[in-house]
Amino acid sequence: QIPEGIEKLSKWLVNATAKYPKVAEKIQEYSKNWEKALTPALNYLSEQGGSIISNGFGLITGVVSSVTSFLISFIFSLYLLSGKERLSRQGRQIVYSFLPIDKAEKFLHIVRLANRTFSNFISGQCLDAFMLGCEFIIVMSIAGMPYVLLLGVMIMVLALIPILGAFIGLGIGTLLILLVSPIKALIFAIIFTILQQVDANLVYPHIVGSSVGLPGMWVLMSVTVGGSLFGLPGMLMLIPVASVLYALFREHVTKKLAEKNVPSDKYMLNPVLEEQESVLSKEIKLRRKNKNTNKDENKNEYK
């Protein structure tokens, strides 16, 4: 049956070509045009086929490598957290075995200060990002912007990247809202600029500076100097590093003042007020310390 069908189809095509010569000419013309159009594409594929395959293979390899690195890092961090106390004990043993006791005490003091500063910096960074995202959600809801929750969460995540995250959030948010309304996209850009400037110059230095014990002026200077010298890594790392150096220098200055018996009224602008603030700050730190001690005792009792 199949050969007979093919023979009938060929006869029908011959008869149709004889009856409708113009249609046959058009078909031949279209076939030539298709050949002309397909020839460059086929030549390009034959020439670039190897590079396309290699690029695709490289992309797949990169994705697999990134996922593998993430999983290995995650598992390694879990091992570190599970053996944190043992590693800490071994580290102290190594320090005391190679350094004199007074040098070892000073070194461990710096390590504890750096650990506390970096932990507070991360928590302060996350708190500032959360507050900025909530501010955007509230203001954009009042202004009637689209994609409020999506853009709020996106800005919250991108705020963890100093300076550069703001430009990324502004670009993505403006493009998304531009598809809905150009006027609303312009309003979003204005809202973003205002809130970002308020956060960068007022909220961020206060939150991060208070969490790491660094005044707001030095936070802004650390971000500026770190970004100009080392780019994005410098913005991220110079704040806690500057905080550690600031705390060590402050301890050294306090020690020198105590050794020279310099009275506080020599360097305080308002000795009474500053003394009250110092006492209040010490009380707050003591309460936090007692609170953490009680938590540790409760954990030990639970265990």
Does residue 219 have a pLDDT over 90? no
Residue 75 banded pLDDT, cuts 50, 70, 90: confident
**Cα(156)–Cα(159) distance, rounded to whole angstroms?**
5
Range 136-165 average pLDDT: 86
Residue 293 banded pLDDT, cuts 50, 70, 90: low
Kindly give, in sequence order, each residue whose CB lies less than 8 Å from that of residue 87, ignoring residues fewer than 6 positions away: 80
Angle between helices 101-143 and 182-198 (to 10 degrees): 150
Range 267-275 average pLDDT: 57
Other Cβ atoms closer than 10 A to 188:
25
8: which 2 tokens?
């009938």
**Cα(260)–Cα(239) distance, rounded to whole angstroms?**
31
Q: What is the pTM of this model?
A: 0.56
How many CA atoms does the CB half-sphere of 204 hold within 13 Å?
25
Identity at 174, one-letter amino acid code: T
In the prediction, which pLDDT does 186 show?
92
Residue 37 banded pLDDT, cuts 50, 70, 90: low
Other Cβ atoms closer than 10 A to 132:
25
In the prediction, which pLDDT does 29 show?
66
In the prediction, which pLDDT does 63 show?
76
Residue 33 banded pLDDT, cuts 50, 70, 90: low
Name the more confident of 234 and 30.
Answer: 234
Does residue 277 have a pLDDT over 60? no
Range 63-87 average pLDDT: 78
Residue 286 banded pLDDT, cuts 50, 70, 90: low
Residue 303 banded pLDDT, cuts 50, 70, 90: very low
Most confident of 61-65, 193-197, 222-226: 193-197
Alpha carbon of 207 to those of 17, 21, 128, 178, 224: distances in Å? Answer: 83, 84, 7, 33, 17
In the prediction, which pLDDT does 87 show?
81
In the prediction, which pLDDT does 138 show?
93
Does residue 266 have a pLDDT over 50? yes
